[in-house]
Structure 1
């Protein structure tokens, strides 16, 4: 009975780790995309509001209404600033997750290369054994036939 190569267990663990890292990367990408969408929505909202106020140009606005407009725009700008920070943070996380996934991928590939090398060495040894057995058989046949 042939015993299982421990590298196969290591390979399975590395594949699992790579898969987990890929899932984390995808999650980080989705979060970054979500935050970017929210930022885009805030920018659109601000633009729409500004256009709406621009439509009132030439009309008399009360000082109170004008003050509320500026206060509201300031709040929207603050929200946009916070969202820009959230987008940057999410993009940073994507970068970290990307690097982590690539490291896991490299480890898996290294284990696969080791297994391939071991298989190749074993195949070369098996080929040599077979060639030796074939040569011995041919030599024995030759001497049997010669001695007849």
Structure 2
């Protein structure tokens, strides 16, 4: 039974390690998403500033339409990126929940192993105490019989 419990504990530790790796990956992907979003927003702001600067110099209707269309495309890209945020956050949340479950299972196996070890130690202590008591009784009996003789 002890070997089976140790096997289960090792398996639980491995699952927990895999869950930690998945969680770290999900967090890294979320961070990457935020960096990408920030870059797109910065690019959009830079582009808007260029549009303002060009507008001060004068733009034809065709140039304005082209620049405005590009801004609309950037806005659509930003909108789609922001919708993807929930996906990345959900991934992190799911990985966190999975990791917590794996950790809980590992801790349960450790608790059970420790409980079994404590029970085993108590039984061993009782056995040793019983042997000591028997030895003391035997010694006392020998001492009494030696006095009588």
5+ residue gaps, structure 1, are: none
Aligned partner (choices 75, 78, 81) of residue 77 of structure 1? 75
Q: How far apart are the structure 1 equivalents of 2:143 and 2:52? A: 109
Q: Secondary structure at the match of 1:58?
A: helix
More displaced 10-residue stretch of structure 1: 49-58 or 105-114? 49-58
Aligned partner (choices 35, 38, 41) of residue 40 of structure 1? 38
CA drift at 1:143 = 0.9
| Equivalent residues, number | 146
Match of 1:89 in 2: 87
TM-score by length of 2: 0.93
Higher helix share: 2
Match of 2:114 in 1: 116
5+ residue gaps, structure 2, are: none
Q: How far apart are the structure 1 equivalents of 2:49 and 2:143? A: 105
TM-score by length of 1: 0.94
Query: What root-mean-square deviation, in Å, do the aligned CA atoms of Structure 1 and Structure 2 show?
Result: 1.2
The 5-angstrom pairing of residues 49-88 of structure 1 reads 49-88=47-86
